[in-house]
Structure 1
Amino acid sequence: MTADPTDEELMLAYAAGQIAAFETLYARHRGPLYRFLLRGIRPRASADECFQEVWSRVVTARERYRPDAKFSTWLYQIAHNLLVDQYRRARPEVSADDDSAPLAQLQAGEHEQPERALSDFEQRRRLQQALDELPDEQRIALQLRLEQEMPLEDIAGVTGVGRETVKSRLRYALDKLKTRLA
């Protein structure tokens, strides 16, 4: 393995029994993956369960893993499939309570300009509501592009659709957000 191994090298090392390789993979991907799931699933407890299930499936599939695609594409494909299963069971609920940190800061008096803090909170809440109103396919494509900075080809691999379909989903999602937030 190289001095700074790729995710694919780490996963192959983990499949060969090197536990430290898994720990490195987990450290690299836990934050972005958790945020991706948290934005797709409400309440937080459901996102936590899904997060654990993704990593459980990574552990279970370690010996079958083949670096045919980037590790991150494979990882997010697992997460995407779990999100789709979750959406089928129950539509996510829109809740302003999920982003309570700005409100808590406002109540604690940490901001010198409470009106601005409330305005920022309201804008984030409106954006989250607009995102929640997007069709699942558009929201997931947008999250992968903006938050994970995935190229179109990787998003296509994660979601199982063509590159042009991903482009369309992104374009429609952005158009809907612009309209909703105008």
Structure 2
Amino acid sequence: MDAAVDDDATLMLAYARGELAAFDALYARHRGTLYRFLLRAARDPRQAEELFQETWSRVIAARARYTPQAKFTTWLLQIAHNLLIDQHRRKRPLATGEEAESALANLATAEHEQPDHVLSEFQRRRRLQRAIEQLPDEQRTAVLLRLENDLSVEDIAEVTGVGRETAKSRLRYAMNRLREQLAE
């Protein structure tokens, strides 16, 4: 176990004992990662902010029950993922068929407007972001956890509450889809 992971668990346990500075250190260390994940997964800044606050509220509420069984980051992202799932369930359907068709048509139009020369780094990143946004929720979450948080398949399975093979499959399908979209 590396020092940062061990340090996170130590900080959380110190916070559970009442050391408020330990929480401040955890918050400073993980706020950016958590917010980026929620923003990319929710695709709505207002919703991401709400989920961000609720995730930290859950961390605070669970401090006395915290046990360092998994990496703190994995535990934190698992809380955030569960809140995302709950919110998706409450707001179904997320998009009508017409909205989905419109988003796909906009993506296709934008792709055809690109000049034949090599894309700039910004354009490549933007294309990747658009392609990720088009993925089904489960696949998008798996890709974001892998690419942005560098989680292993096992950690992705733990965060999303599915088996290792399911997480691996979601990641594989998502990566194949991204390759196809980016090759076009």
Instruction: Name the TM-score, length of structure 1 as normaliser.
Output: 0.78
Matched residue type, 1:145: R
1:36-47 equivalences in 2 (<5 Å): 36-47=37-48
Task: Indicate the residue corresponding to 2:110 in structure 1.
Answer: none
Residues 62-81 of structure 1: pairs in structure 2 closer than 5 A: 62-81=63-82
Q: How many residues align?
A: 159
* Structure 1: gaps spanning 5 or more residues: 97-115
What residue number does 2:36 align with? 35
Deviation at 1:72, TM superposition (A): 1.2
Q: Distance in 1 between matches of 2:125 and 2:74?
A: 28
**Mean alpha-carbon deviation: is it higher for 79-88 or for 18-27?**
79-88
Give the percent of matched residue pairs that are identical in Structure 1 and Structure 2.
64
Corresponding residue of 1:152? 153
One-letter amino acid of the counterpart of residue 181, structure 2:
R
**For residue 87 of structure 1, what is the aligned residue in structure 2?**
88
Report Cα offsets for 1:125-157 as digits up to 9, x if no partner.
432221111111111111111111111111111
Divergent runs of 4+, >6 A: none
How many angstroms does 1:39 deviate by? 0.3
Who is 1:162 aligned against?
A: 163
Q: Secondary structure at the match of 2:37?
A: helix
Q: CA deviation at 1:28?
A: 0.9
SS of residue paired to 1:63: helix
Aligned twin of 1:25 = 26
Q: What aligned pairs does 1:129-144 form with structure 2 within 5 A after superposition?
A: 129-144=130-145
- Quote the Cα distance in structure 1 between the aligned partners of 2:43 and 2:149: 20
Q: Normalising by the residue count of structure 2, what TM-score does the alignment of the two structures yield?
A: 0.78
Q: Partner of 1:134: helix, strand, or coil?
A: coil
Structure 2 alignment gaps of length 5 or more: 104-116
State the Cα distance separating 1:180 from its structure 2 match: 1.4
Aligned-partner Cα distance in 1 for 2:87–2:180: 28
Aligned residues: CA RMSD: 2.4
Cα distance in 1 for partners of 2:168, 2:143 equals 10
Segment of structure 1 superposing worse, 28-37 or 85-94:
85-94
State the shift of 1:124 in Å.
3.5
What secondary structure sits across from 1:57 in the alignment?
helix
Aligned to 1:15: 16
Name the residue aligned to 1:49: 50
3-state SS of the aligned residue for 1:23?
A: helix
